[in-house]
Amino acid sequence: QNFKMRRTITRSAIDWAALGSKLTTDSAKAEVSRLRAAAGEIMSLSNTYATPPPPIDFAAYKSKISAADVVDKFQAEYARINYPTYVVEEVAEIKAKHDALVRTTKGFVNIIFLLIFRTCFS
């Protein structure tokens, strides 16, 4: 599942040079720079945690620690840990909301364009 998420992130790579070339103000360039740094950090974390960590060898710890019951307690607590997983359905729901928002925005842009056109050419 993490591999699918990394593939999605990689596919949606941003052309930072093209984006930067369209900016004119220093504040906009600074904000894009901050966004690029955040995206880089996300990609770095994605690469770091792309594979699950190696399993803990509790038997080795039991052989090294004289109080084996301590290791048993840690093992029992470790077994209870439940990490959240990447859920594809959530992404589909978010994408649907995003697509609806884009359609709405395009509709508003078209209305504004028509109003400007009528104002300028009537």
- The share of the chain scoring above pLDDT 70, in percent, equals 86
**DSSP character string of 20-57:** HHT--SHHHHHHHHHHHHHHHHHHHHHHHTSSPPPPP-
* Residues 8-60 pLDDT 10s: 555 457 788 888 888 888 988 888 889 888 888 888 888 887 787 889 999 99
pTM: 0.41
**Between residues 84 and 37, which one has the greater pLDDT?**
37
**How far, in Å, are 15, 81, 103, 117 from residue 12 at the CA level?**
10, 32, 20, 35
Whole-angstrom Cα distance, residue 73 to residue 42? 35
